[in-house]
Amino acid sequence: MRAVIYARYSSDLQREASIEDQIEVCRRYAKAQGWTVVDSYTDAAISGASRFRPGFQKLLADAGQRKFDIVICEAIDRLGRRLADTADLKDQLTFQDIRLFTPTLGEITTIHVAVMGMMAQMALKDLGEKTKRGQLGRVLKGRIPAGIAYGYRSIKKADDDAGMREIVPEKAAIVRRIFQEYAGGKTPEAIVKDLNREGVRGPEGREWSNTTLRGQAARGTGLLNNTLYRGVLEWNRCSYIKNPKTGKRIARPNPPDQWESTEVPHLRIIDEALWERVKQKQGAIRARLAGTTDDATRGTSNPLNRTHRARYLLSGLLRCRCCGGDYIMLNKQSYGCSNRKRKGTCDNAVTIRREEIDARVLIGLKERLLAPELVQSFLEGYADEVKRERERQKAAHAQHAQIGRAHV
């Protein structure tokens, strides 16, 4: 029997050896059963709450091609923390006549999936609630629940110092400069271009971008919206939920009465007057943009989104040959380098008209896709797949007929 192994460790464990340990346990189990391990699938530092894991998706794809007869995992919760995902995998394996095993439980049945999957999902929810409760405790003590904002560094001199921060003077000076220049009339785009040109590194040592400054006011993201710089720690402004279709985490603003706010005067970098000047300018911009509505953007919650350009044929598909950045629509007619426009970090000033590049690509697709050799290759591949599917169906019918005769 052909067996494969699936192993995963969560991002909260952060221990690569866990993958090796799981695979070794499963290999020994397979050897004891007399099975041949033909492959293994792994997902390192990826939460089981998401089904969009490379190893997991490859396992599903290969199961669809019947590349193995048995799947072994160290425990059911390694397959996923969501009951629906685990049940869906079990259904797909059953459909392909592939069996699922764990070393401790043996063959996994639908009842196992239901009970253990529900327990895993409850454990995931409980972990989330405990994490949030721990973050609330830190906030009430004036400590940062997670992350390190630009301009600060973590300090930990004892075991109970988690979440403690202190100001980094040289970075605090950059924060003040950004607020002062913005309040003085400079755009985020112009500010970040100057910073990048001067070699000033942004958060996490990366280049600055205008979105790093602007963020989203409703969520409190972006340097210009971070209340920590005025000595106020805010938490729980948003809740996060994963889109089950895409696996992407979506932020949803919480009502103001659910926010938590704590005064942290020792972390203040800018004075209240400067903060208010920035807020007034942002408010004026939002008021101005509120009038830029049309049928396509009316009802958009973020006024800035109303100025976003429509997607075109090659949106997100063009790259700059110099820096590797995206080529974006600079205006209604032409594409250009995004890093040159938004960050000032690329010298490539070459632009290309949208109609010209669209025409080039469409002609290329027409010539390449209709090439006789490609059409023939597609037809041969399709015929081979149809043949394999018929053989699988024939073998399955023969197996069922043999089982039926054995019971007569």
CATH code of the domain in which 103 resides: 3.40.50.1390
pLDDT tens string, the chain, 408 residues long: the values are 999 999 988 765 445 668 889 999 999 999 999 999 999 999 887 765 677 789 999 999 999 999 999 999 998 888 877 777 788 888 899 999 999 999 999 999 888 887 876 777 777 777 777 877 777 777 777 788 878 899 999 887 666 666 788 999 999 999 999 999 999 999 999 999 999 999 999 998 999 998 899 988 878 889 999 999 999 998 888 887 777 666 677 888 888 888 888 899 999 999 999 999 999 999 888 888 776 544 434 444 455 444 445 567 787 889 999 999 999 988 888 999 988 888 888 989 999 998 888 888 877 777 776 666 766 676 677 677 667 767 766 766 665 555 455 444
Q: Helix (H, G, I), strand (E, B), or coil: what is residue 100?
A: strand
Whether 257 and 337 map to the same domain: the answer is: no
Whether 295 and 383 map to the same domain: the answer is: no
Residue 213 · residue 223 · CB < 8 Å: yes
Residue 130 domain flag: no
CATH of the domain at 282: 3.90.1750.20
Q: Of the candidates 165, 142, 275, 274, which has an alpha carbon nearest to the alpha carbon of residue 217?
A: 275
Residue 145 domain flag: no
Whether 402 and 351 map to the same domain: the answer is: no
What's the pLDDT score for residue 296?
A: 39
Q: Of the candidates 167, 138, 139, 309, which has an alpha carbon nearest to the alpha carbon of residue 230?
A: 167
Whether 72 and 214 map to the same domain: the answer is: no
**Distance between CA 325 and CA 348 in Å, rounded?**
11
Q: CB neighbours of 100 closer than 8 A, spacing ≥ 6?
A: 70, 71, 72, 73, 89, 90, 93, 107, 108
**Distance between CA 168 and CA 269 in Å, rounded?**
10
Q: Examine the fold and report which residue of 255, 290, 305 is the final residue of a domain before the chain moves on.
A: 305
Whether 163 and 94 map to the same domain: the answer is: no
Q: Of the candidates 176, 206, 183, 181, which has an alpha carbon nearest to the alpha carbon of residue 194?
A: 181
Neighbours of 339 (CB within 10 A): 23
Residue 68 · residue 61 · CB < 8 Å: no
Q: Examine the fold and report which residue of 284, 305, 326 is the final residue of a domain before the chain moves on.
A: 305
Residue 38 · residue 68 · CB < 8 Å: yes
Residue 134 domain flag: no
Neighbours of 296 (CB within 10 A): 9
Residue 353 identity (one-letter amino acid): R
Whole-Å CA distances, 172 to 136, 150, 168, 343, 393? 26, 8, 6, 21, 68
Residue 71 identity (one-letter amino acid): V
pTM: 0.57
Beta partners for 263? 232
Whether 158 and 300 map to the same domain: the answer is: yes
Residue 174 · residue 297 · CB < 8 Å: no
**Distance between CA 57 and CA 288 in Å, rounded?**
46
**Distance between CA 232 and CA 264 in Å, rounded?**
5
Residue 184 domain flag: yes
- In which domain, by residue range, is 313 found? 309-366
Strands of 70-73's sheet, edge to edge? 36-44, 2-9, 70-73, 99-102, 106-107
**Distance between CA 36 and CA 68 in Å, rounded?**
10
322: burial class by Cβ within 10 Å (0-12, 13-18, 19+)?
A: middle
Whether 341 and 392 map to the same domain: the answer is: no
Q: Structurally, how many domains does the chain consist of?
A: 4
Whether 204 and 73 map to the same domain: the answer is: no
Residue whose pair of structure tokens reads 């629940």 in the numeric block: 145
Residue 324, both tokens: 């590797």
Whether 168 and 263 map to the same domain: the answer is: yes
Q: Of the candidates 46, 26, 48, 49, which has an alpha carbon nearest to the alpha carbon of residue 37?
A: 26
Residue 162, both tokens: 């988690």
Whole-Å CA distances, 359 to 310, 354, 362, 404? 19, 8, 5, 61
Between helix 188-197 and helix 169-183 the angle, nearest 10°, is 140
Residue 214 domain flag: yes
Whether 176 and 85 map to the same domain: the answer is: no
Q: Of the candidates 76, 58, 49, which has an alpha carbon nearest to the alpha carbon of residue 244?
A: 49
What's the pLDDT score for residue 34?
A: 96
Whether 74 and 114 map to the same domain: the answer is: yes
**Distance between CA 88 and CA 297 in Å, rounded?**
38
Residue 143 domain flag: no
Residue 400 domain flag: yes
Whether 102 and 182 map to the same domain: the answer is: no
Residue 71 domain flag: yes
Measured in residues, the chain has a length of 408
Q: Of the candidates 18, 19, 37, 17, which has an alpha carbon nearest to the alpha carbon of residue 27?
A: 37
